[in-house]
Amino acid sequence: MSAAREPEAEPSEPESQRRLVDVVLRARTFGIIVVLGVLVLITALIQSRFVGGGEVRFILSQTALYALVAVGEAMVILTRNVDLSVGSVVGLSAYVSANMFGTHPGIPIVLVFLVGLGVGLGCGVITGAITAIGRVPSLVVTLAMLYIIRGVDTIIVGSGVVLASTEPNSFLNIPTATIFGLPDLALAVAVVVAIAAYYLNSYRSGRDLYAIGSDPDAARRAGIPVAKRVFTAFVISGGLAGLGGVVWASQYATIESTAASGLELQIIASVVVGGVAIFGGSGSVVGAALGALLLQTINSALNVIGVSSIWTEAISGLLLITAITLDRGIQLRVAAALRRRRVRLGA
Amino acid sequence: MTSSLSKRTLMLAVAALCAIGIVGGVAYAASLKKGLKVYVIPKNLGNSYFTTADSVKTDGALAALGTLGEKGTETSGTAATPASQLPVIQSSIAKGANALIISADDPLALCPTLKSAAAKGVTVVTYDSDAPTCRSIYVENAPAQSIGESEVVDMAKELGAAGGQVAIVSAAASATNQNTWIGYMKTELKKYPKLDLVSTVYGNDDPTTATQVTQGLLQKYPKLKGIISPTTVGILAAAEVIDKAKDIGKVLLTGLGTPLEMKSYIENGTSPDVILWNPARTGYIAAYAAVELASKAITDATGQTFTAGSFGKETIGPDGTIDPGGTTTFTKANVNQFHF
């Protein structure tokens, strides 16, 4: 999970220096776990049912969607880009996939997930191509895609709505299905997170994402296929958002064209709270998933102790600022440590 | 001679009367202008509630405009915000609208524009959500008092003599109509000492938020027996939470919902009773009101009447408000008869 460090770099560096950088970076993920623990403890003291099976399963099941989409978003942000279109992709995929139950009664659920994945990948390919090949800033491209995809959604949905009565119970029961007391969804998303984490850490193309985010020009000069990697990151983000749409449909059952609007900001918040630097180059998908878990836990905790939902947003915002400020501080320190190391090596 | 003359006179007179009658009839029908450009502007597009209120298929506003021979167009923004609705109103005026039928996202923000439209001779009628000082006629869904009261009556019926703790899942804390209904609910609740209102939470008409606040209620009040949700979005989220928590029958739900969307929850016992008016009725009557006004066949003065097609005679009440009638309760027995 250590991040900004490039593995091939300077094998002769002093072990203590290297450990310091590692510890600082690991501390970000560790920090979230500590905050999470304290939060759960305090809430449980006020309301013991908070740590009961039902509530824990609810939080994990709710987090699954956010964590899934956050993994893709994290990969995009690592490359110093951003994907603002994920909320619209989730909405479009939710409608198109869940609508299949109405138009093709008896359709296998696996096929519905594939339809959702396809919708997401399609959107990701378009966004990725314009950003990576057209070299247009992703902030602009994905902002445009946010509106375009939502517009397409509104046109397709038109006067329609997916009704809970058209969806089979086996589909609507997905969020409540459990294995060993843990929601299937959460376990499935944990597998996705693990695969993504392994890829980012152990594959050259995965490490490339960090290099691109640290310094795109240097990465280009070092021979990294920047456009290709960025394109891939957007396609993965789109695909995961597409799957997220199907999950959304199974959770909320009734789908209108406004489904999941504004979700993108909560996803980016999760990613940043999870310790992924907003300007790329460092962070991890495990952190992003934990960030999603933390935000969902805060939401639930405030609701369980009876704080108005209006405060939930303000508190999420406060957390975001804290995370970014901390992140900036850590970044400066790491940069200073790396510079010192380079000076010592005479580089 | 005289008798035949008088007979002829009589025949002439009858013929003349008939002619006058026909001419009068034609004149009356012609007094409603045809080909008027009427823009129907719901709070937002892609909202199934307004699809019901507006579309031809459901006999809503556009169906009425079609019957009257007007050029009806439904248009709005994609978000239910004044910022999204305002440009749509302006462009409708620019396109030469004769009348606007609008569900106001925010009366204060929209008023200046609506007033300038009225100054240009555009008829402004509101439906569903009012903008009181800047329209001619407002067609309400159903009287607020009956909406609030019937939800409590249904909750009391569902919980029976034992009663218990109940909570409200509302939309935004600032929503005027929600707060008015909740006010009437609280008054009505005084008649049922066994019903104990423990909390009102706000789901902001967002499925995610509504889900979380409902789940919070279930955790905070393990003895909770009933939830009233006077919002079509909130009630759906609450129904899914109760279903997924396997609390069907333990926590009973009622509130405002469309029969089509709530069908599966009505049938599986999550929400045995759901209340709503007929949204298409509101849209249909508003369309007739707008055309009558734009044709100068009526004014917005109290006591003016007109015939709104199949819904019959409508009378303009105080403050230019039309009350089209009460609410309908949907249960297992009748839910299949409704298709909105």
Nearest-angstrom CA–CA distance, A46 and A50: 9
Q: Mark the ranges of chain A whose per-residue pLDDT is less than 50.
A: 1-12, 347
The verdict on residue B310 lying in a domain is yes
Per-residue model confidence (pLDDT) at position A346: 57
ipTM above 0.90, yes or no: no
The verdict on residue B2 lying in a domain is no
Tokens at A322, concatenated: 């804290």
Contact A164 B261 (CB under 8 A): yes
What is the distance in angstroms between the Cα of A158 and the nearest Cα belonging to chain B?
A: 6
CA angle A261, A265, A269 (to 5 degrees): 145
Contact A172 B243 (CB under 8 A): yes
Q: How many CB atoms lie within 10 A of CB B282?
A: 25
Are B270 and B283 contained in the same domain?
no
Contact B46 A54 (CB under 8 A): no
| Contact A39/B at CB under 8 A | no
B216 contact residues in A (CB cutoff 8 A)? 300, 302-304, 306
A306 contact residues in B (CB cutoff 8 A)? 199, 216, 220
Per-residue model confidence (pLDDT) at position A9: 44
H runs (alpha helix) in chain B: 2-30, 48-54, 61-67, 82-94, 107-119, 144-159, 176-189, 207-220, 232-244, 259-267, 279-294
Nearest-angstrom CA–CA distance, B110 and B131: 8
| Contact A165/B at CB under 8 A | yes
Contact B215 A58 (CB under 8 A): yes
Block residue for tokens 């010592």: A344
**Each residue of B200-240: pLDDT tens digit?**
999 988 899 999 999 999 999 999 999 999 999 999 999 99
Q: Given B218, B245, B276, which residue is the final one in a domain?
A: B276
The verdict on residue B114 lying in a domain is yes
Residue B169 falls in which region: left (phi positive, over 0), alpha (psi -120 to 50) or beta: beta
Share of chain B above pLDDT 90, in %: 69
User: Using beta carbons and an 8 Å cutoff, which residues of B are at the interface with A?
Assistant: 44-48, 51, 55, 57, 78-79, 173, 199, 201-204, 206-209, 211-213, 215-217, 219-220, 222, 236-237, 239-240, 243-246, 260-261, 263-265, 267
The verdict on residue B10 lying in a domain is no
Q: Given B237, B252, B276, which residue is the final one in a domain?
A: B276
Nearest-angstrom CA–CA distance, B186 and B181: 9
**One pLDDT digit (tens) per residue for chain B, 340 residues:** 444 556 666 555 555 554 544 444 443 444 789 999 999 999 988 777 888 899 998 899 999 999 999 999 999 987 788 888 999 999 999 999 999 999 998 888 899 999 999 999 999 999 998 898 899 999 999 888 999 999 999 999 999 999 999 999 999 887 878 999 999 999 999 999 999 999 999 998 889 999 999 999 999 999 999 999 999 999 999 999 999 988 888 999 999 999 999 999 999 999 999 999 989 999 999 999 999 999 999 999 999 999 999 888 999 999 999 998 889 999 999 999 887 7
Are B249 and B169 contained in the same domain?
yes
The answer to whether B38 touches B124, Cβ cutoff 8 Å, is no
Distance, CA of B167 to chain centre? 25
Nearest-angstrom CA–CA distance, A165 and A225: 48
Contact B48 A303 (CB under 8 A): no
pTM: 0.81
Are B267 and B156 contained in the same domain?
yes
B265 contact residues in A (CB cutoff 8 A)? 164
Per-residue model confidence (pLDDT) at position A160: 73
Contact A55 B45 (CB under 8 A): no
The verdict on residue B306 lying in a domain is yes
Minimum CA–CA partner of A310 in chain B:
B202
Distance, CA of A88 to chain centre? 15
Are B136 and B103 contained in the same domain?
yes
B240 contact residues in A (CB cutoff 8 A)? 164, 172, 251-254
Contact B240 A176 (CB under 8 A): no
**Each residue of B314-335: pLDDT tens digit?**
999 999 999 988 899 999 999 9
Could you tell me the domains of chain A? 15-345 (1.10.3470)
- Could you tell me which of A197, A84, A81 has the C-alpha nearest to residue A132? A81
The verdict on residue B131 lying in a domain is yes
Nearest-angstrom CA–CA distance, A106 and A85: 31
Are B289 and B251 contained in the same domain?
no
Q: Domain residues for B250?
A: 144-276
Pairing of strands B313-315, B305-307: antiparallel
Nearest-angstrom CA–CA distance, A214 and A218: 9
What is the distance in angstroms between the Cα of B219 and the nearest Cα belonging to chain A?
A: 6
Per-residue model confidence (pLDDT) at position A17: 60
Tokens at B18, concatenated: 């008939």
Contact A164 B240 (CB under 8 A): yes
Q: Given B276, B294, B316, which residue is the final one in a domain?
A: B276
Pairing of strands B321-322, B137-139: parallel
Contact B220 A62 (CB under 8 A): no
Are B202 and B255 contained in the same domain?
yes
Tokens at A333, concatenated: 């320190």
Which of A43, A47, A57, A58 is the best mutation test for B, with the most CBs of B within 10 A?
A58
Per-residue model confidence (pLDDT) at position B8: 64
Nearest-angstrom CA–CA distance, A193 and B126: 51
Nearest-angstrom CA–CA distance, B38 and B96: 9
| Contact A264/B at CB under 8 A | no
Contact B207 A159 (CB under 8 A): no
- Could you tell me which of A233, A231, A267 has the C-alpha nearest to residue A248? A267
Q: How many CB atoms lie within 10 A of CB A7?
A: 11
Which of B219, B248, B251 is the best mutation test for A, with the most CBs of A within 10 A?
B219
For residue B195, the cross-strand partners are B164
Are B112 and B173 contained in the same domain?
no
Tokens at B25, concatenated: 């009839």
| Among candidates B206, B220, B261 on the partner chain, residue whose Cβ is nearest the Cβ of A254 | B261
| Contact A163/B at CB under 8 A | yes
Are B41 and B137 contained in the same domain?
yes
| Among candidates A47, A252, A310 on the partner chain, residue whose Cβ is nearest the Cβ of B219 | A47
Per-residue model confidence (pLDDT) at position B30: 46
For residue B125, the cross-strand partners are B101, B137
Nearest-angstrom CA–CA distance, B98 and B226: 47
Contact A54 B44 (CB under 8 A): no
The verdict on residue B18 lying in a domain is no
Nearest-angstrom CA–CA distance, B292 and B123: 10
CB pairs under 8 A between A and B: 113
Distance, CA of B31 to chain centre? 27
Are B134 and B161 contained in the same domain?
no
B199 contact residues in A (CB cutoff 8 A)? 306
Are B229 and B301 contained in the same domain?
no
Nearest-angstrom CA–CA distance, A275 and A294: 12
| Contact A53/B at CB under 8 A | no
CA angle A100, A158, A119 (to 5 degrees): 45
The number of helices, as runs of H, and strands, as runs of E, in chain B is 11, 14
Are B135 and B154 contained in the same domain?
no
| Among candidates B46, B173, B220 on the partner chain, residue whose Cβ is nearest the Cβ of A304 | B220
| Among candidates A55, A161, A175 on the partner chain, residue whose Cβ is nearest the Cβ of B219 | A55
Q: How many CB atoms lie within 10 A of CB B55?
A: 20
Contact B212 A310 (CB under 8 A): no
Are B41 and B65 contained in the same domain?
yes
Minimum CA–CA partner of B51 in chain A:
A159
The answer to whether B259 touches B280, Cβ cutoff 8 Å, is no
For residue A95, the cross-strand partners are none
Q: What CATH number does residue B285 fall under?
A: 3.40.50.2300
Q: Structural domain tally of chain B?
A: 2
The verdict on residue B101 lying in a domain is yes
CA atoms within 13 A on the CB side of B10: 6
